[in-house]
Amino acid sequence: MTCTDKKMQSGRSPKKNREMNGFLKGVESIGNRLPHPAMLFLLLAVIVVIVSHFVASQGVSVTYFDARAKAEVTKKAVSLLTPEGLRYMFNSATKNFTGFAPLGTVLVAMLGVGVAEWTGLFNTSLKKLLMNANSRYLTPIVLFAGIMSNIASDAGYVIVIPIGALLFCMAGRHPLAGMAAAFAGVSGGFSANLLIGTTDPLLTGITNQALKAAGIDMTLAPTCNWYFLAASTFLLTVIGTIVTDKIVEPNLGTYEGRYKPDDTPVTALETKALKNALIALLVYVCIMAFLMFPQNALFRSAEPGGAMTLKAFLHDGLIPAILLLFLIPGVAYGRTTGKLRTSHDLVAAMTEAMKSMGGYMVLAFFASQFIAYFGKTNLGLIVSFKGADALEAAGLTGLPLILLFILLSAFLNLFMGSASAKWAIMAPIFVPMMYRLGLSPALTQVAYRIGDSSTNIITPLMSYFAMIVVFMNKYEEDAGLGTLTSMMLPYSIAFLIFWSIMMALWILAGFPVGPDAGLFI
């Protein structure tokens, strides 16, 4: 039985699916009539070039205190329709592509993931997992796993999202619904987690620098948002499950795509191979734990203050570690089943994985140019400051101010993808402003994180956006930016609304947002 043979879990008839031609179908239809995503990014890059010249010709500039540079900075709009701009576009094209943040992450991780998939480890593992499982519980499991994956920075994008699609497909559900749920958890829920991740100390450090620059004698701990974000994990899991099961999956209809995973019964040899893969995985995890967690572990490096931390490893070494996380069990499984006999077989498995990344590399080239141009021209900075000026001019205080700040953060995230870069600009403006109005910096920071996370999943400036389109094409060749946007828009709206409501109720209840982090000054 294939993933197209089982009954859809949404309970909607084909007729009802055909009738869902409302707003989301309109978004999908319009979006998919646009050029190929690669050409669309090229078109957006051209628009940025033209707009940059117009804005620069007006002499538009902004002056602000950069919390990371610890200095006042003036930035002017930069035209790319000048001799210097044209030289930049040609001279930086290769560097823009090779330096594109997700490119190395995706390609390196896929070497290991490809081996695990080629040998059949994924297929057998998922069949075992789903043998006695109720597929209705897949949605919250995938969402929760996506949210928790951000503890490993960007690893969830290349691991949880494709596995979410495969899980749904093998359970007889639409694979794009599984991909959407995983993407919503990984990216829409990027700021929520039960644990303290790498983003927490990064943003808190920027907040502390903004406080220091404003002459405010206060220092926040990296745990200052922990209570609220831990509770948010459960809220987003519930909201994301409802959106997936009641809106996204019914709107997608019955899956009739080309991808049909093997669903023959698990043999005795495959069971033995799976046990060997699990043993290999446990041995690897134990070795990595020894290299990471003792006080003077090999992968720990000294910080400027002298403390030994995993910061450098988590930033630069995690992806190779993830490669081995899938490669080692994949090899153990393949050796047992006989599919991996020689080194030639291993290279063939990796080569097969890279073949599927060809389309992504083309897309990444044009996406990287667009994102680089947008940063070079300073258009994102200008939009951010004009929005900040508008919020300050509104003259609001208390809860209305916080809610409007969340909306502003969500809007600005459409133009600046990096959470830390955006916060480095906004924190010196809003942290002191909110402080003067009696709102704690911890509250301001968590409000920013709500808005910043909620719209990650609908902006092409999010660096992994192009990659998700390529993952979708494995299941539906005609899927494009319109399909992705129409799938993710309900999550973005629901997360923004209900997360903001949770924030409002949290403030009204007077709960602290983290340990020793109250709401008001």
Q: Rounded to 5 degrees, what angle do the CA atoms 75, 103, 260 make?
A: 135
DSSP H helix total and E strand total for the chain: 24, 4
Which among 275, 313, 271, 274 is positioned nearest to 293, based on CA atoms? 313
Phi, psi torsion values for 264, nearest 5 degrees: -70, 155
DSSP state of 132: S
**Burial of residue 319 (number of CB atoms within 10 Å: 0-12, 13-18, 19+):** buried
pLDDT digits (tens, 9 = 90+) for 53-63: 999 999 998 88
pLDDT of residue 505: 97
- In this prediction, residue 247 carries a pLDDT of 93
Averaged pLDDT for residues 455-474? 85
Contact 160, 109 (CB under 8 A): no
Residue 74 phi/psi, 5-degree rounding, is -115, 130
More confident residue, 135 or 50: 50
pLDDT of the residue at 135: 72
Locate 268 and state its tokens: 């005795």
**Global confidence as pTM:** 0.76
- In tens, the pLDDT along 14-35 reads 444 444 446 777 777 776 677 7
Task: Place 152 in a pLDDT band, splitting at 50, 70 and 90.
Answer: low
- Least confident range from 2-11, 164-173, 263-272: namely 2-11
Report the share of the chain in percent with pLDDT over 90: 41
Residue 263's pLDDT is 65
Whether 303 has a pLDDT exceeding 50, the answer reads yes
Q: State the pLDDT at residue 347.
A: 95
- Strands 71-76 and 301-302, by their bridges, are unpaired
Residue 2, pLDDT score:
43
Decide if pLDDT at 514 tops 80.
yes
Exposed, middle or buried, 32 (CB in 10 Å: 0-12/13-18/19+)? Answer: middle
Report pLDDT for 130: 67
Please provide the size of the chain in residues: 521
pLDDT value of position 490: 94
Terminal alpha carbon distance of the chain: 61
Q: What is the DSSP letter of 301?
A: E
- Average pLDDT of the residues in 246-271: 83
Q: Which residue would you say has higher pLDDT here, 436 or 27?
A: 436
pLDDT score, position 127: 77
Distance CA(328)–CA(119), nearest Å, equals: 12
Distance CA(471)–CA(8), nearest Å, equals 21
Each residue of 88-108: pLDDT tens digit? 999 999 999 998 877 887 788
What is the rounded CA–CA span in Å between residue 85 and residue 481? 29
DSSP state of 135: G
Nearest Cα neighbor of 339 from 383, 277, 258 is 277
Cα 456 to Cα 160, 193, 216, 228: the distances in Å are: 16, 16, 31, 19
Q: Which position has the token pair 């995993």? A: 310
pLDDT, position 467? 83
Token pair belonging to 20: 């869902």
Q: Which residues make Cβ contacts (< 8 Å) with residue 278, sequence separation at least 6?
A: 329
Average confidence (pLDDT) over 244-272: 85
Sign of CA dihedral 354, 358, 360, 364: positive
What is the Cα–Cα distance from 47 to 489, expressed in whole angstroms? 24
Between 371 and 446, the more confident residue is 446
Condensed to tens digits (0 to 9), the pLDDT of residues 322-357 reads 889 989 999 999 999 999 999 999 999 999 888 878
Backbone angles phi, psi at 71, to 5 degrees: -155, 160
Q: How confident is the model at residue 119 (pLDDT cuts 50, 70, 90)?
A: very high
Residue 205 backbone dihedrals phi, psi, to 5 degrees: -60, -40
Residue 508 identity: L
CA separation for the pair 306, 154 (Å, rounded): 27
Q: Where residue 12 falls among pLDDT bands split at 50, 70, 90?
A: very low
d(CA 351, CA 318): 22
Sequence letter at residue 374: F
Convert the pLDDT of each residue in 387-427 to its tens digit: 777 777 777 778 999 999 999 999 988 887 778 778 877 88
The per-residue pLDDT for 11 is 42
Give the residue, 175 or 205, on which the prediction is more confident: 175
Average of per-residue pLDDT values in the chain: 85
pLDDT band at 6 (very low <50, low <70, confident <90, very high): very low
Q: Which one, of 424, 441, 429, 421, lies nearest residue 391 by Cα? A: 429
What is the enclosing helix (H) or strand (E) of 201?
Answer: helix 199-213
Report yes or no: 212 and 433 within 8 Å, Cβ to Cβ.
Answer: no
Q: Which of 2-6, 446-450, 483-487 has the highest mean pLDDT?
A: 446-450
**How many Cα neighbours within 13 Å face the side chain of 304?**
0
Long-range contacts of 61-67 (CB under 8 A, 24+ apart): 62/378, 62/381, 62/382, 62/385, 64/385, 64/425, 64/428, 64/429, 65/210, 65/213, 65/428, 66/424, 66/425, 66/428, 67/206, 67/207, 67/209, 67/210, 67/213, 67/423, 67/424, 67/427, 67/428
